[in-house]
Amino acid sequence: MTNKVHQPENDIMVETKGKLELFFDKYGNKLLTGLGCITVIAIGFFLVSSIAENRDAKREAMADTALAVALNGEGAAEEFVAVVEEYGKTKAGNTAAYLAGAAYLEAGDMENAKLYLEKYNNAKGAAGEIINALVLMLRGDLAVEQNDLQSAEALYLESMACSNDPVTYTEGAQKLALVYAAMGDEAKAEQCYKDIVAKYPEQARAYTKYISK
């Protein structure tokens, strides 16, 4: 007859099971109450989040309408500033910051142009990338106005790199070429036009006059 070997693990399992049963007997109701509270909190959080999302959606819609009204107006910087001040944290409010900066720059108000261009936050998506590039280009223009050609160079290069849009790339490259020409670096200026032609061969005819044979 084989003797049954006593396994210490069996004692541990029995002991553990007993402790768990005692624990649930003693604290079961409290645990269920706790789980109930957590459930109520989770539901409450979900409801609050849904309300916040609906509120945000309504605010975005209101901001879109305000921006559309400003665009259909005289295009004065103050019209875009009003949208920024009221809806600055919305997508439309962010776009309005770019438009306000552009309008101030066109009007020759460099201080306010800088102020509102700095309020702009980089946007996502293809359309956002184009505006990002335009903002960098305007900041480059500001640097040129302040005779800070090194900063203008960096900003135009960044503008060209952040979007695949041919219009913004070409405009940025042309402005960069002018900066290099102002620096007295004709080779780099010519390279800008070569880069345009290399990237967009269909535009070659427009830039061959700037490229030496």
110: exposed, middle or buried (Cβ count in 10 Å: 0-12, 13-18, 19+) = middle
- Is the confidence at residue 202, as pLDDT, over 80? yes
pLDDT of residue 26: 52
What pLDDT was estimated at residue 45?
45
CA atoms of 200 and 168, how far apart (whole Å) = 12
Q: Can you list the domains of the chain with their CATH numbers?
A: 31-121 (no CATH), 122-213 (1.25.40.10)
pTM: 0.72
pLDDT on residue 74: 80
pLDDT score at 158: 97
9-23, 60-74, 89-103: which has the minimum mean pLDDT? 9-23
User: Which one is predicted more confidently, 37 or 113?
Assistant: 113
Alpha helices, H only, the chain: 8-71, 77-87, 91-107, 110-119, 125-145, 149-161, 166-183, 186-199, 204-207
